[in-house]
Amino acid sequence: MGDARRAREELWTAERPRDLSIPISTTSATFFAGGLLASYRRRLWPMVFFASVALLLKLWYIDRMTFYYEQRREREESPEETKGATTPSSS
């Protein structure tokens, strides 16, 4: 699972599309920092809130990476399928 996630992120990094991934990741990091601060101050409910939002945002980020990877994979597979369809078959 780690290798597949790494491949999606490397593909995204190579092309750098302008989408929601950067703001989602930045916001997730900000909420994570808020959760750490709340933990340090020993405030349970603020920590639970900040950590939960950070987790949900990170899951959304992973969803975006997966969506981007699948979209890219479909684009790369489409020309091969059409090329194979136009080639006469040998019987």
For the chain, domain boundaries: 20-75
pLDDT on residue 90 = 53
CA–centroid distance for 17 within its chain = 12
pLDDT on residue 79 = 63
pLDDT on residue 40 = 94
Give kind and range of the element (H or E) at residue 71.
helix 44-86
CA–centroid distance for 15 within its chain = 14
pLDDT on residue 57 = 95
CA-CA distance, 28 to 36, in Å (whole number)?
A: 12
pLDDT on residue 13 = 67
List the pLDDT tens digit at each of the 91 positions of the chain: 567 666 666 766 676 667 788 899 899 999 999 999 999 999 999 999 999 999 999 999 999 888 888 887 887 777 655 555 555 555 4
User: Environment class of residue 89 by beta-carbon count within 10 Å: exposed (0-12), middle (13-18) or buried (19+)?
Assistant: exposed
pLDDT on residue 53 = 97
